[in-house]
Amino acid sequence: MTQMAALRSTPVTTDGFTSRALLSDGALDDRAIRDEELARARHAFAYLKDRIGNSGMRELLATDIASTTAQAREWVERSRGRWRTGQVELVDHGGVRVGYTMHQGRDAEDGMHLLLRTLLPEAAPQELVDRHLRHFAIEFTNWTRAAWLEAKEAKT
């Protein structure tokens, strides 16, 4: 069994509830059931985006986008150039440090440059590091694309 397969078979609940589904071609433990749910949710989301397109998604979420944008602008204005920082340090129940994430960003002539990092123990599977980095790529691309679209639409 690979390290990632071992991780997938570990129960993910914190409340003590676990489940197991017996299928005609095998069994799914609690983790596998949640993985299947996530895969189906991603499929449904991709289907929705395909059906209504990016402009439809923006229209569907327009109220949420507007309120989030207004809140962010208020914070920028009230902060008067001052910034707050934070750090994520993942620690297990035994007090063992299991990872860090660090992000840096700066303005640049061509827009913005971001450096997104995850630090995990060297023995952690590379796939785990890669998945974190893919998550960062998706998350920050979506944020910057939304800001770019908003600025582009404001010019027209």
pLDDT digits (tens, 9 = 90+) for 63-92: 998 998 899 889 989 999 888 777 767 777
Token pair of 119 as six digits: 């630090």
DSSP bridge pairs for 97? 91
- pLDDT the model gives residue 8: 43
Parallel/antiparallel/unpaired status of strands 26-29 and 20-23: antiparallel
Is 11's pLDDT higher than 50? no
